[in-house]
Amino acid sequence: MSDPRETDPILDPKYDAAGLITAVVTARDGALLMVAHMNAEALAATQSSGEATFWSRSRGRLWKKGETSGNVLRVVEMRIDCDQDALWIIADPAGPASAAIRTGLIDDPTRADLLGSWALDTDRVCVVPGAKGRLRLGALVDYGEGQGCAASGTARRSGDRVQMTFGACRFEARFEGDRIVFPAELPASCDSLCTGRASLAALTVERLSTSTAEAETLRTPGGKLLCPTASAN
């Protein structure tokens, strides 16, 4: 028997078992801005505020794009596919950085330096110089209730793409100048880096500092350096 939501014109999103629906966000010209997830509360917040709000699986809470940097996504139009199991959001990127780029006042932020400290709430990422063209990388997710992720590894950047390696866990993240975005889906080999319900998937952090000296001091809850040198214990 078919689901009436697939033929009914009334908006009635088909959320998955976790209560989420995929949201694809593009600019007016069709350029892909991001892929994230929404639950019913995030969708309602987006509709009421006009600014894209998502559900962060790594933090277990609502997250509005640009809530720290001010670079929000102002919704122009929202569409849903015929099965009502995926959203398409057309948005205008806002904020001081995107406005300056459009007017040519500053360079494209994807050319910005990746080095330094990155954060959102209690989540942290450090990026410092490494050896043989690679960068040293660390990621820390605090899910709460004693659950979290702690990973140290290496990274190699190519434009707005960052190939990250944490042992057997390997994936490509996106660098947007003012933030680093981990993919929403990660290999199963990354699961061992986290405890409980915590995950590195969809981790999004914004620039905290450009100081590599400061980034090198970041530590895990157990006291280990997050971006250790080769000789660090």
Q: Is residue 168 part of a domain?
A: yes
Q: Which residue has the higher pLDDT, 232 or 51?
A: 51
Q: Is residue 116 part of a domain?
A: yes
Last residue of a domain, one of 59, 85, 101: 101
Query: Pick from 180, 146, 187, 181: which is nearest to 166 by CA?
Result: 187
Q: Binning pLDDT at 50, 70 and 90, where does residue 232 land? A: very low
Q: How many residues does the chain have?
A: 233
CATH number, domain at 139?
2.40.128
pLDDT tens digits along 58-86:
678 898 887 766 678 889 999 998 889 89
- 122 and 52 together in one domain: no
- 55 and 88 together in one domain: yes
Q: Is residue 144 part of a domain?
A: yes
Last residue of a domain, one of 101, 130, 156: 101
Provide φ and ψ at 96, rounded to 5°: -60, -35
Residue 115: give the domain boundaries.
109-217
Contact by Cβ (8 Å): 9, 26: no
CA-CA-CA-CA torsion sign (92, 95, 101, 104): positive
Query: Pick from 137, 139, 171: which is nearest to 154 by CA?
Result: 137
- 113 and 79 together in one domain: no
Work out how many domains the chain is built from and give that number.
Answer: 2
Q: Which two tokens stand for residue 231?
A: 């000789």
- 119 and 173 together in one domain: yes
- 93 and 134 together in one domain: no
Is the pLDDT at 167 greater than 90, yes or no? yes
Q: Is residue 84 part of a domain?
A: yes
Distance from CA of residue 227 to its chain's centroid? 20
pLDDT tens digits along 141-165:
988 888 999 999 999 998 889 999 9
Model pLDDT, residue 36: 86
- 124 and 185 together in one domain: yes
Q: Is residue 228 part of a domain?
A: no
